[in-house]
Every structure is written in C-alpha cells, then in structure tokens.
Chains A and B, each alone.
Chain A
Amino acid sequence: MNAIIVSALLGVVMMFSGIFTTNKTIIKNIATAGVLFLLAANLMEMNNLFSFNINTHDLIVTQRYGLFFNCIAYGATFIYLVLSGTDITEVGVNVAEYFALIFFVLCGVAILSSFNGLLMLFIGVEILSIPLYILTGSDKRNLKSNEASLKYFLMGSFSTGVMLMGIALMYGATGNFGMVHSNGLRGVVSATQQPPFLLVAGIVLLFASMSFKVSAAPFHFWTPDVYDGAPSVFTSFMSTIVKAAGMLAFIRVFENQYTILGPTWHIIVDFAIVTTLLVGNITAVFQQSVKRMLAYSSIAQAGFMLFALYANNTEIAKEGILLYAAAYSSATISIFAVLIKLQDYTLDGFNGLAKKEPVLAFAATVSLLSLSGIPLTAGFFAKYYVLAGALQAGGALWLIIVAVLLAAVSVYYYFRVIQAMYFKEGDPQTLPISGGFKAALIVVAAFIVILGVWPSALLSWLYF
C-alpha cells in the first residue's frame, strides 16, 4: 500500500514543485530523492516496519513478491534518473510535469504488482498508460513526437476498450471481478462444466489487450513508431520499467485464469511467443537506426518474457521474470543513456566511440552483451530462468529451440553496435559528458556483471 500512496503523493509534490522553483537541477534532484524515498517506503512495508493500513476489501493485496517487484522497478527508476535525469530536463519547458508524470506511472506500477481483481487491473493499466501518452508527445515542436503520441493514444485507447469489453464479458459470465478463487474465475463456474462462452470470449479479449500493452505480436505494431518518435529519455522509461510492470500484470492476471481456456491456452501462448520472437528479432536485423533497433529488440525481449507466462506457476519462472525485469531494465536504461548522449542515432553514429569515449563504449558493450544473453551478464540468467521455467512446466522443446536460435539472431544486431564502436573508425559527436555520468554507467555495468555471476544476490531477497 505504501508504494501506491507515496508515489501518488510524490506525483502531486512534483507537480507543484514547478511553482516554487524553475531551477531544473533542483527539480531533478527532488525527483531523484523522491524515488529513493519511495523505495524506502516500499522496503519498510516489505520488512513489516511500517505500512498504511487501508481496507480495500481485497481489491489490493500486497505480497512480498509484488513488493519485491516494486523494489526492482523503483531501483531501475533511480538508475534511470541518475543516468538520464539531466536529459529529461532538456526535453522541454515543463520540467516538473515530466517528473510528476513519471511518479504517476510508478503509482500504476505499484497497483499492477498488487491488484487482486480485474477492476484494479484495469485501473492500474490506465494509470500506467495515460501519463505515457503525454510523455510520448512531450517534445511538442517535433512532428514525430506528436505523431507517436497520437498514434499511441488512439491505439492505446482502442486496446483499453477491448480490455474493458473483456472484463465486462467475464463479469457478465460470472458476476465476479475477483481472482479470489485459487482457480480464478474458473472456480466460479462448476469444475466439470464447459466454461461459458462469454467467459472464454472475455478472457481472449483480455489476452489481446494485455499483449498490446507489452507489445507482443500480433499487437506490436504501435511499438516501433512510438518508441522511435518519443523523446529518447522517455522511450528508455517506457521500454523498461513500464514494460516489465505490464508483463508482471499479464502474468499475474493469467496465473489463475489460464485453465479457463483449457488446451487452447497453450496454442495461444505458443503463437504469441513465436510471432513475437520472430517479428522482433527478424525486423531488428534490418534497422539502421539504433533507436529503432532497440524498439524491435524490446519486442523480441517481450517474447522471452512471455516464457514466464507460458510457465505459469513454476517457481523458477516467477523468479525469472523478476530477474528479467532487473536485467533487461538496467541494460536498456544504460544503452539508452549512452544513445541519448550521441547526436546521431544511426549505426554509423556509433563508429569509433570506443576510442573517443571508452567508458561509454564499455558500458554499452556490457549492456548489449546482457541483452543478447551472453553468460557473465545478467541477461544470461534472465533468459536461463524463464526458459528453465518453461521446460519445467513441460514446455514444448521445439519452442525452446526456436527461442534460442532467435537469440542467436539477436546477437547479430546487438553486435553490430559493438562492431561499430570498437572495430570501425569514426568521430562521433557527443553531448557533454560528466564524470558522474561515467561513474554511474560503470556502477550499472558492474551491477549487470554481478547479477550475471551471482543472480542469488538479487533473488535471495525474495525470501527473507
């Protein structure tokens, strides 16, 4: 409960901070301190030290798992603000609002990690999404940013409609919003009976709209344009923390409901995984812009995260999605932070970066290695855990083999950036880079490597 309340309050605080000061640095520092405070509040609840006690009639149920996810999300946000906070203040004039919106998104994250019913899921998704429509269009004078924002808003509203429709149908079938039964809504109807058509139709619609939110194929079409058009700092935020939260909600909502679909469930998830992996990986190969490549790569990574959905309740997959969230977020935030410092987003813009800015190139390399899942980086264990979870859940082997072969494809496009930085000559133009920025990048890279050698460093917090 702490996280929801504190993040909403901090959002309001940030909104009004713009009245008292116009100094961008101060606003940025307030926001960074705010995230730390939020993290601390969340940790307090996790360790049973202090929490707001509000009777939500079981609409919100906080569990250690969800709180731990909050910690990862807020930790990642902290890294994000440290690395890219200054660049956020450069996007436009309404600096305080950007941070306020980020806190509202974080409030949505907290709801998605603790909702206990379809209604709260809907509210969480909306609180998460609406600030993003604004942030996407925050570069007001840039046509691409406006286009992306409008596109995102229209498509997002449509998917929201679909989700609401699904929830309504499910409610109509069962008279229940809840996930109170251990079998989810399946438990509401008699176990032997065929589930009513309305319930099945509702859950399929819900699946489609959640796929849209995590940009899983075939509902991914908005992703490249929106990620490419939005200001890079916000793309970084959207494609990491927000996406991980969406994925967590996706998994949580289907954790108990998937039995409604019976054997069809696996056909649907198989299809979603394969198409997402194929679309993301294959299209990313052909991109010339690194930013757009990262957009497709985020689709591809969503495909891997869907394996945790596939594995349903397996313990290792549940740990896996947390690890994936941490690994993927830290790597992507770091590579975006480097990207933002470059004037030229094309692959050629990275040429010769290793000579000019060895620290940036090194940090970007560690991140890219992690994204491609090379051992010794966090990305390896992230992929390992979700795949092991899928196998343990009796997953089809062909699916796993398709996934690892496509992971090999992903090496192709990630390594092209490494090749540009280290093996090609060039003189990349960069924005001024501070020593603190470099130090922060090194810390993130070290974090990625530590997680890659010893994932228990993070995961063991889940249990005590």
Chain B
Amino acid sequence: MIPVLLLFIPLVAGILGFFIKDQKAASNWAIVASVITLLTAVIGIYAMPASMHQFEATWLPSIGASFSVALDGMSKMLVLLTAISMPLILIATRNNNYSNPGAFYALMSLAQVGLMGVFVSMDALLFYFFWELALIPVYFLSSIWGGEKRIAVTFKFFIYTFIGSLLMLVGILIAYLHTKDQSFAWSSFTNTDLTSGEETLPFFLFFIAFAIKMPIFPLHTWQPDAYEQAPTATTMVLSGVMVKMGLFAVIRWVLPLFPFAANQFEMPIIILSVVGMIYASLIAMQQDDIKRLIAYSSIAHIGLMAAAIFAGGTLGLQGVQVQMFNHGINVIGLWILANAIENTLGTRKLSELGGLATKAPTMAILFVVLAFANIALPLTNAFIGEFLLFNGLFQYNIWIAAAAGVSIILGAVYTLQMVQKVLFGEVSAVTTNATEINAYSKWVLIVIVVAVIALGVYPQPLIDLTKDSVNALLVIK
C-alpha cells in the first residue's frame, strides 16, 4: 500500500495544484504535499511490515500487464532520495518567483509521481508509462520557465530521451514475446527463454534508453544545455534524481533480464563510461559558467557509477546505490548555491566572481563542505560511495580503475578552481554588493551539509538499506 500512497499523494497534490493562483499558496501546497510524501516514505520504509511494501492490481489482463508496485531493496534507496529531494528543492527555491506559479508547482509534483513510479514499478509496461510520465512535466517546466534558449534545448532533450524510450519499448515487446507466461511482470521478464545470442538486441534497445538518460558518453550532449537552461528547481530534479532513473533502470531492468549480454558487453560499456568521465572532467575544467561546470562534473560522477554497475561485484553494486543517494543530495546542494549566487549577483560566470568568502561567510562554509563532498574527501558522504565504486572497478580491472582515478584528480582540480574563483581572491565588481544567502536556502543547505558529514562518518544506514537487494541481484545474475 505504501508505494501506492507515494504515487497518489503527489498526484493529487499536482492535479489540485493547477488551480492555485497565488505564488506563496502554491509553493506552500507543494511543500506540504512533498513533506507528507517524505513522511509516508520514511514511515513506510522503516516502520511498516514488508506486507505493506507491495501492491498489485489487475490492469490489462488481456495482455498480461498489471499495476504492480513494490518497495523492495533496489527501490528503497531511490524512493527515499526522491522523497527527501523534493522538499529540499522546493524549500530552497521558495523565494524564486514564477509566472503562473500554480502550474509550476503542480508540474513539479507530477514529475515526482513519474520518478516514484519508475522506482517502484514491478511491471515493464507500467515502468514504461512512468518513465515517460516523468519526462513530460519536465519538458513543460523547462520550456516554459527556463532560460533564453529553453525551447530548442529542451526539445533536444525531449527528442533524445523519447527516441531512447521508443527503442526501449521495442525491447520490452521482444522480451515480452519471450516470457513464458505472456506477462509484463518483472519476475517473468527475469525468466525469459531468450538465448544468450538473442539477448543482444533487446539488451541494447534497453541500454540505449538508459544510457541517454544517465547520460553515458557519447550520448550526453543534451545534458549540459538542458541543465543550464532549465529553471534551477527543475535542474535539481533532473540532476539530483532523474539521471538516477537511468542507473536504477540498468540495475533493475537490464542486469537481471539480460545477464549474458550484460556480461558480454561490459568491457566496451565500462570503457565508454570511463572515457566519458575523463572527457567530462576535462571540459569541466574549461567552463566559466557554474551551472555548466556542475553539469559536466555530474556526467563524470555518473560515469563512475555506470562503470561500477557493469563491473559488478557486491561492493561495487552496493557502492552504486549508496552513491546514487549521496550524489543526489550533494548535487542538489551545489545547485542551491549556484541558484543563490545567480539570484543575488545576477551572474554565474566564474570570471566575474571572487572574494565571496568575505562578503558571505556562512555561504562560503557551506560551499566549501559541498565542494569537498564533490571531490569525495574522507569524512564526506561521497567518500564511502566512491571508495566502494573504486573497489569494484579495481577488482574488475586495475587499469580501468587507474584511468577512472585520473578523473577524480581532475575533479579535484576543477572543483577547487571553482571554490577559489568564487570564494577567494580579489572582491570583484559584481561581488561587492553581495549579500548573505537567504534563510530558506541556508537552512536547506545546513541540512544537506549535516547529512553529508553524518553519512560520511557513519554510512552504515545507507549500506544496510541496499544489502538485501544487491544479494538478490547477484543471485539472479
């Protein structure tokens, strides 16, 4: 029942939200709904018996599709991430003004429905539905409230992902025709009569869709533009949660379904991921725009997770799940800072900033902690995640681990460069009239920073949450 509530609450909030005209009221409404969703998720995951974690209803019996949702080990982490991110995002951007605010917040809630649905679906057709449902609100959010080049950029993003989805649909159809009981259920899909050779085609049809979403080099070209042009709250959803859809989908819908093909093609995919990491890091070093820098840095981080998924191994897969959560909240923190800088100073260009530490010391402290988390320094949450990932890669192939390690060094270079250019050095013309970050953003950032350090020191809760799912996955594999 819990997963149904997690879909239902934001859905109702979203639909009713369209009718709210007032900025503050719309924002409050969405925040309250997202907090209720968060409470439902937390109580549901930690306090409810496992019987409450599943729900199944008939949907289209004639073709074997059912409305089957579950909070299992694989989805718990990301459901939690989605549930936590939304209130953080909405509160942090509460001071942003939007034309037609009711529609904005309603679409944000609907995007949450799509995300939750992707994570809890246990039926391939239902999964496909939610996969698209997550995309449509984001398309409208970015195209209506985005930056100058929003229409073209968002459209590119949409077409890119839609082509991927359609290919996945063909893959779903092929797998479906090979299920033993003509059903879309996940359990049937993991038990098809596809031979190892026949797996190749559906494997790639699925994988391309997910690779676009993550994105994996060379399918990443939509991402920096989309992140830059989308309104910040949407960018946070995109990079904090939505890119995890791709990673999650590989764990849920590719590895258990097509184990032979995944095994056969793991090397080229890992190499592509690592190439993408280094490539994105090198580009990030050249960026002058904070948003684009974070976007490329995000590609690098996701690349590492993608590589670790295919490298396999218990530790690696656990690391991916832990890191998906950590990266989600860390990157949201960075976007909040980028948003704050842009809102108060009117620019995102590193070359125009400088000396912000003297003008806004609180912000500077928060910025530095999140920057450290972005380089995965020990005592931050990202450290434990990346450690597990590297462990997995290292066991797979030492040279690949070494190449991936280069991008971590490059990551330190561009992140510290950013910190230096924004916070330290001469106070520039733009930053002379800088003010401290607003209260909403500040408190959200403090929450995030506390989580960063707490989970860095004691990551056990996250690791526990993922353990049974990884074991289950390895059994299937």
Taking Cβ atoms with an 8 Å cutoff, the residues of A that contact B are: 316, 369, 374-376, 384, 387-388, 391-392, 397, 400-401, 404-405, 407-408, 411-412, 415, 419, 422-424, 454-456, 459-460
> Which residues of chain B in 133-163 are interfacial with respect to chain A, using CB atoms and an 8 Å cutoff?
133, 136, 140, 143-144, 150-151, 155, 158-159, 162-163
The 8 closest A-B pairs by CB, nearest first: A404-B166, A375-B132, A408-B163, A375-B129, A423-B143, A423-B151, A391-B173, A408-B162
Measured in the bound complex, the distance between the Cα atoms of B61 and A374 in whole Å is 21
> Which residues of chain B in 102-156 are interfacial with respect to chain A, using CB atoms and an 8 Å cutoff?
128-129, 132-133, 136, 140, 143-144, 150-151, 155
Q: Does B177 contact A (CB under 8 A)?
A: yes
A376–B63 contact, CB under 8 A? no
B158–A376 contact, CB under 8 A? no
Q: Does B60 contact A (CB under 8 A)?
A: yes
Specify the chain A residue showing the minimal Cβ separation from B140. Answer: A422
Measured in the bound complex, the distance between the Cα atoms of B127 and A411 in whole Å is 21
Measured in the bound complex, the distance between the Cα atoms of B173 and A404 in whole Å is 12
Measured in the bound complex, the distance between the Cα atoms of B104 and A274 in whole Å is 40
Measured in the bound complex, the distance between the Cα atoms of B129 and A454 in whole Å is 12
B174 touches which one: A391, A405, A415, A454 (CB < 8 A)? A391
B170–A456 contact, CB under 8 A? no
| 5 additional contacts (CB under 8 A) given A384-B169, A419-B155 | A376-B129, A388-B63, A388-B176, A392-B177, A412-B159
Q: Does B443 contact A (CB under 8 A)?
A: no
Measured in the bound complex, the distance between the Cα atoms of B159 and A404 in whole Å is 12
> Which residues of chain B in 169-186 are interfacial with respect to chain A, using CB atoms and an 8 Å cutoff?
169-170, 173-174, 176-177
A411–B162 contact, CB under 8 A? yes
- Decide yes or no: A454 and B170 within 8 Å by CB, A391-B177, A423-B144 being known contacts: no
Give the Cβ gap from A462 to chain B, nearest Cβ, in Å.
10
- Report, as a range, how many residues of chain B touch the other chain: 20 to 34
Can you pick out 7 interface pairs between chain A and chain B where the beta carbons lie within 8 Å of each other? A369-B136, A397-B174, A404-B166, A411-B159, A419-B151, A454-B60, A455-B60
Q: Does B62 contact A (CB under 8 A)?
A: yes
Give the Cβ gap from A464 to chain B, nearest Cβ, in Å.
13
Measured in the bound complex, the distance between the Cα atoms of B132 and A364 in whole Å is 19
Give the Cβ gap from A463 to chain B, nearest Cβ, in Å.
9
Cβ–Cβ < 8 Å partners of B143 in chain A: 419, 422-423
Encode contact with A along B49-76: 1 for CB under 8 Å, 0 otherwise.
0000000000111110000000000000
B151–A401 contact, CB under 8 A? no
Specify the chain B residue showing the minimal Cβ separation from A456. Answer: B60
Q: Does B451 contact A (CB under 8 A)?
A: no
A408–B60 contact, CB under 8 A? no
Cβ–Cβ < 8 Å partners of A397 in chain B: 170, 174, 201
Measured in the bound complex, the distance between the Cα atoms of B208 and A401 in whole Å is 13
Cβ–Cβ < 8 Å partners of A374 in chain B: 132, 136
Measured in the bound complex, the distance between the Cα atoms of B129 and A376 in whole Å is 7
Measured in the bound complex, the distance between the Cα atoms of B177 and A404 in whole Å is 18
A376–B133 contact, CB under 8 A? yes
Specify the chain B residue showing the minimal Cβ separation from A407. Answer: B166
Specify the chain B residue showing the minimal Cβ separation from A460. Answer: B62
With most chain A CB atoms within 10 A of its CB, the pick from B60, B129, B162, B174 is B162
Specify the chain B residue showing the minimal Cβ separation from A385. Answer: B63
Q: Does B167 contact A (CB under 8 A)?
A: yes
Specify the chain B residue showing the minimal Cβ separation from A384. Answer: B169
B173–A388 contact, CB under 8 A? yes
- Decide yes or no: A404 and B63 within 8 Å by CB, A375-B132, A411-B159, A423-B144 being known contacts: no
B136–A316 contact, CB under 8 A? no
Cβ–Cβ < 8 Å partners of A422 in chain B: 140, 143-144
Specify the chain B residue showing the minimal Cβ separation from A387. Answer: B173
A405–B129 contact, CB under 8 A? no
Give the Cβ gap from B77 to chain A, nearest Cβ, in Å.
25
Cβ–Cβ < 8 Å partners of B136 in chain A: 369, 374
B150–A408 contact, CB under 8 A? no
Give the Cβ gap from B455 to chain A, nearest Cβ, in Å.
36
Specify the chain B residue showing the minimal Cβ separation from A400. Answer: B170
Cβ–Cβ < 8 Å partners of B144 in chain A: 422-423
Cβ–Cβ < 8 Å partners of A404 in chain B: 166-167, 169-170
Measured in the bound complex, the distance between the Cα atoms of B162 and A408 in whole Å is 7
A401 touches which one: B132, B140, B167 (CB < 8 A)? B167
Specify the chain A residue showing the minimal Cβ separation from B135. Answer: A374
Measured in the bound complex, the distance between the Cα atoms of B60 and A401 in whole Å is 25
Cβ–Cβ < 8 Å partners of B163 in chain A: 405, 408
B166–A405 contact, CB under 8 A? yes
Measured in the bound complex, the distance between the Cα atoms of B160 and A412 in whole Å is 11
B166–A408 contact, CB under 8 A? yes
Give the Cβ gap from B149 to chain A, nearest Cβ, in Å.
12
A459 touches which one: B62, B159, B176 (CB < 8 A)? B62
Measured in the bound complex, the distance between the Cα atoms of B137 and A374 in whole Å is 13
Measured in the bound complex, the distance between the Cα atoms of B167 and A405 in whole Å is 8
Measured in the bound complex, the distance between the Cα atoms of B182 and A391 in whole Å is 14
Measured in the bound complex, the distance between the Cα atoms of B150 and A397 in whole Å is 36
